[in-house]
Amino acid sequence: MTWHQLTTEEALLKLNSSPTGLSAEEAAIRLTQYGANIIPEKSGRSAFAILLAQFTDLLIIILIVSAIVAACIGDLKDAIPIIAIVLINAAIGFTQEFRAEQSLIALKKMAGQTARVVREGTLRNIPARDLVPGDLVLVEAGSVVPADLRLLDTARLQIDEAALTGESAPVEKTSRVLTDRELPLGDRVNMAWRGTVTVYGRGTGVVTATGTKTELGAIATLLSEGVEPKTPLQIRLAQFGKRLSAAILIICVILFGVGIQRGEPLVLMLLTAISLAVAAIPEALPAVVTIALAFGARKMANRNALVRRLPAVETLGSVTCICTDKTGTLTMNRMEVTEVCVDGNRLPASAISVVMPEPAALRLNDKLTILITAAVLNNDTRPGESGSLSGDPTEIALTTLAESCGFPKEVLEQRFPRIAELPFDSDRKLMTTFHRCGTGIVSLTKGSLEAIAGRSQPEQTSVAAAEAMAAQGLRTIGFAVRYWDKLPEQITSETAEAGLAFLGVAGIMDPPRPEAAEAVQLCKSAGITVIMITGDHASTATAIAESLGIASADDPPAITGKELEQLATGSLAELAARTRVYARVAPSQKLQIVTALQGRGEFVAMTGDGVNDAPALQRAEIGIAMGITGTDVAKGAAAMVLLDDNFATIVGAIEEGRRIYRNILRFIVYSLTSNAGTIWLVFLAPVLGLPLPLLPVQILWLNLLCDSLPGLALTAEPATENLMRQPPIPRNEGIFSCGRGRWIILNGLVLGITGLCLQKYGIATGLPWQSMVFTYLILSRMAMALQVRSRHESLLKIGIFSNKPLIAAIAATVMLQLVVIYLPFMQEIFRTEALDWRALAAVLAGATLILVTGELAKLVQRWLHKERV
């Protein structure tokens, strides 16, 4: 129903209501018919369901099965650590998910607890949940609108709709009929929307919708229907787990068959195959990923980016497009006078220099002085409780300008006391105040430029300059003056607002954040497109976008919500590829834009602070809410909250997300390369007629020791210098993409063949070859941990000690292996022998060879091409 097109009488008739309101009986009937004026909470999963979901990942299932098998055959030393890792991972995941989304609860809180309603001609307070369509509701300054209303009468009523529509300035309301059926919400000035806040005046409206039928309720419905997409890492690890499990199964079956054919004992081959399967799986991966994300989240919090869901940390690395709200995100979320135009000359507010006038000196010889004086005298702002100004945001901006010019409001009010006024109304779009000025009277008038120009004689240069200001997105306020010998007997618009002398124009806007332009440029250098989606006017949005570098004069013009509604199905996806600014859009349209971008393969981050942003925040791959100005609904729908509301913080968060993702890849490459070396060694030895190089217990110790401390230390690898000059991580990039699969196989093969040579040497020389191979695999893995820090840059260039946790982890791992080799009781457990200097020298030579061949391979690679880590 287009309620804004109906007259007040038609609206009351349509709702079967009257100026005296509903009767108690009729209200009770309608409450039964329409239901309570509440927004139902989204039903969440039970705690048990959340806990059970932590064990459904394929890699986790493989680990659990492996642990059970290991326990059944008596290898508790391996089973217990695996189960412990699985449980720690599940506990962390459960804790994160159990802190369920609070979006709909926040929406309920915003609706208000009570409402002032007229029933049977009597004004009474009732719970807001009991409102029904047809009720007459009174709204006044400070109250939250409890339902959607068609306004019946208004008295200077202004409502802050920023949280719903994105418009920064409060909207002045009226009760007159609007004829355009397709008006966006922000332009339906005869309507009041649930959840918005009355900031000035009062009004009465008839309830047109309650509960989920309200505009706020529609947003709640979108939120309840939304499904969070899986993160890139979750998708990649799921694919990785499937491929890895299949490969491991095939290798173990082949190894078991070859061993049996060679006459190896059945039990030994069974234990070896199972042990190799366990060793091939990087069982530390879930813990390493979770810990890396947790450390990253802590680091981001120190940089004012609070992560609500851990996977969001790595999601940032794949972002290709940021859809950002304007108000409070890119701008300061406060009105500010930026320019003043007098006699056709545009002056920046910071360049204004005037002297406060004496009572007898307020004359037209200095229009700028009079304009500044009018800005503070024709103004109803008052000091607030905290010392800040309270009142209409536009008037606060004018008062702030005057005080910055040295015109204190309290001093001017004493010099030019107000003796009469014509209050502002939406029909005249003017406000006039009368003040004593020496022995005479001066009237100061402010209002829309059109209204001021129609009652004065502005020079053409001033009109042209003011039009240019408006074209640049500034809200223009005109000023005029008239001098009187005495106060008019009848103060009416016809007598008091005629024959005015034009003073000039003030240009007001919500200014961009100083750091936003640099942040936008950094996003561009990182291959990330920035798109503005706002509920504000197109001219304002375009001006802000161009000043920040989001859009240029060569880009397509801003698209409005009304134009989006007229697009044919499928046209939005094509339009989304070129458009950088969307203005006057509805909440559902924000969601459509994000969906269209995702349909084009974009990986979307959505920033915002209002209720209207919540569905898109939830739908995007990562939603980023403003922590200071953001509503609870926006924060609840977002995966990350900016504690300082600083758009530039997003850039730092993206860099951290990229660093963490690449470090997780480093661990995976390190672990799989090392495991591949072990598999090649154990697989090829029987084929070449050599005995099994390792015992099952040694394989398990090798994997557990080397994947724990060094693996975690790799997540502390610092960001590379060119990290933010690289394009986003492609959506379809797999774990083995960018040459990582080839690198794993070839380096694993080198590691395994070197181990075979060491085994053959030990057998030929009578040295304890099995302990040599065992120790070699530990040291070669430490060499591999150093190599994977960069697959193309020399270790000397990146600095051996630039990752101190890794050096400490390598030292600890080597010490633990020496304990296993040289302590008698550990020798019994792991069936090892002490190594003399010849055996140690051979082991060190093999590990050094891995380091040297890796550096040589990097050198050749740098000659040919560079691949991203």
Active site residue 555: no
Position 14 in a domain = yes
Structure confidence at residue 259 (pLDDT): 78
Structure confidence at residue 834 (pLDDT): 95
**Does the pLDDT of residue 658 top 70, yes or no?**
yes
Confidence label for 683 from pLDDT (cuts 50, 70 and 90): confident
Position 414 in a domain = yes
Whether the CA torsion 653, 657, 658, 660 is positive or negative: it is positive
Average pLDDT, integer, range 589-610: 86
Helix (H, G, I), strand (E, B) or coil at 867: coil
Together in a domain, 363 and 418 = yes
Together in a domain, 522 and 595 = yes
Say how far apart CA 721 and CA 553 lie, in whole Å. Answer: 33
Confidence label for 866 from pLDDT (cuts 50, 70 and 90): low
Say how far apart CA 156 and CA 431 lie, in whole Å. Answer: 11
Position 694 in a domain = yes
**Does the pLDDT of residue 255 top 50, yes or no?**
yes
- Tell which phi-psi region holds residue 524, choosing left (phi > 0), alpha (psi between -120 and 50) or beta: alpha
Q: Please say which residue of 225, 254, 271 terminates a domain.
A: 225
The type of residue at 809 is A
Burial label for 322, CB within 10 Å (0-12, 13-18, 19+), is: buried
Say how far apart CA 327 and CA 607 lie, in whole Å. Answer: 11
Structure confidence at residue 46 (pLDDT): 65
Strand partners, 508: 337, 475
Confidence label for 18 from pLDDT (cuts 50, 70 and 90): very high
Position 389 in a domain = yes
CATH code of the domain covering residue 842: 1.20.1110.10
Position 218 in a domain = yes
Together in a domain, 457 and 388 = yes
Together in a domain, 385 and 486 = yes
Highest mean pLDDT: which of 3-12, 466-475, 706-715?
3-12
Average pLDDT, integer, range 63-92: 65
**Does the pLDDT of residue 127 top 90, yes or no?**
no
What number of other Cβ atoms are within 10 A of residue 454's Cβ?
Answer: 15
Q: Please say which residue of 449, 483, 509 terminates a domain.
A: 509
**Does the pLDDT of residue 725 top 60, yes or no?**
yes
**Does the pLDDT of residue 494 top 80, yes or no?**
yes
Average pLDDT, integer, range 210-233: 71
Together in a domain, 372 and 490 = yes
Average pLDDT, integer, range 129-150: 89
- Distinct helix (H) and strand (E) counts, the chain: 33, 24
Average pLDDT, integer, range 218-246: 65
Structure confidence at residue 227 (pLDDT): 53
Give me 677's structure tokens. Answer: 């070396």
Confidence label for 480 from pLDDT (cuts 50, 70 and 90): very high
Structure confidence at residue 216 (pLDDT): 81
End-to-end CA distance of the chain: 57
Together in a domain, 497 and 576 = no
φ, ψ at 437 (rounded to 5°): -140, 90
Q: What does the longest C-alpha to C-alpha distance in the chain come to?
A: 122
Average pLDDT, integer, range 803-816: 94
Together in a domain, 551 and 623 = yes
Average pLDDT, integer, range 362-367: 73
State the helix-helix crossing angle for 696-714 and 285-302, rounded to 10 degrees. Answer: 10
Position 42 in a domain = no
What number of other Cβ atoms are within 10 A of residue 301's Cβ?
Answer: 13
Q: Which residue has the tokens 């106060």?
A: 487
Q: Choose among 97, 38, 43, 106: nearest CA to 610.
A: 106
**Does the pLDDT of residue 354 top 70, yes or no?**
yes
Give me 241's structure tokens. Answer: 């787990």
CATH code of the domain covering residue 607: 3.40.50.1000
Q: Choose among 154, 149, 120: nearest CA to 137.
A: 149
**Does the pLDDT of residue 668 top 90, yes or no?**
no
Position 39 in a domain = no
**Does the pLDDT of residue 150 top 60, yes or no?**
yes
Together in a domain, 163 and 204 = yes
Q: Which residues, at least 6 apart from 465, have a Cβ–Cβ distance to it below 8 Å?
A: 341, 344, 345, 346, 505
57, 75, 78, 325: the active-site residue: 325
Together in a domain, 557 and 580 = yes
Give me 464's structure tokens. Answer: 């042209």
**Does the pLDDT of residue 24 top 50, yes or no?**
yes
Q: Which of 28-42, 48-62, 293-307 shows the lowest per-residue confidence on average (mean pLDDT)?
A: 48-62
**How many domains, the chain?**
5
Structure confidence at residue 50 (pLDDT): 66
Structure confidence at residue 136 (pLDDT): 95
**Does the pLDDT of residue 116 top 70, yes or no?**
yes
Domain holding 486, by residue range, is: 336-509
User: CA angle, 714 as apex, 710 and 716 as ends, to 5°?
Assistant: 125
Helix (H, G, I), strand (E, B) or coil at 401: helix
Residue 29's H or E segment, with its range, is helix 24-34
Structure confidence at residue 761 (pLDDT): 95
Confidence label for 423 from pLDDT (cuts 50, 70 and 90): confident
CATH code of the domain covering residue 486: 3.40.1110.10
Q: Choose among 233, 168, 249, 269: nearest CA to 534.
A: 168
Q: Choose among 168, 171, 225: nearest CA to 203.
A: 171
Together in a domain, 380 and 496 = yes
Structure confidence at residue 101 (pLDDT): 37
Position 821 in a domain = yes
Together in a domain, 275 and 366 = no
**Does the pLDDT of residue 111 top 50, yes or no?**
no
Per-chain mean pLDDT for the chain: 83
Structure confidence at residue 360 (pLDDT): 65
Long-range CB contact pairs, 447-451, < 8 A, 24+:
447/477, 447/478, 448/476, 448/477, 448/478, 449/476, 449/477, 449/478, 449/505, 451/478
Whole-angstrom CA distances from 112 to 127, 162, 197, 204, 849 are 9, 17, 10, 17, 72
Together in a domain, 704 and 804 = yes
State the helix-helix crossing angle for 769-787 and 740-765, rounded to 10 degrees. Answer: 150
Answer with the residue of higher pLDDT: 755 or 682.
755
CATH code of the domain covering residue 118: 2.70.150.10
Q: Which of 200-209, 492-501, 567-576 shows the lowest per-residue confidence on average (mean pLDDT)?
A: 567-576
Say how far apart CA 313 and CA 659 lie, in whole Å. Answer: 10
Highest mean pLDDT: which of 88-102, 450-464, 721-735?
450-464
**Does the pLDDT of residue 108 top 50, yes or no?**
no
Q: Which of 250-259, 394-403, 652-661, 737-746 shows the lowest per-residue confidence on average (mean pLDDT)?
A: 250-259
Average pLDDT, integer, range 190-196: 89
- 503, 342 Cβ separation under 8 angstroms: yes
Structure confidence at residue 452 (pLDDT): 92
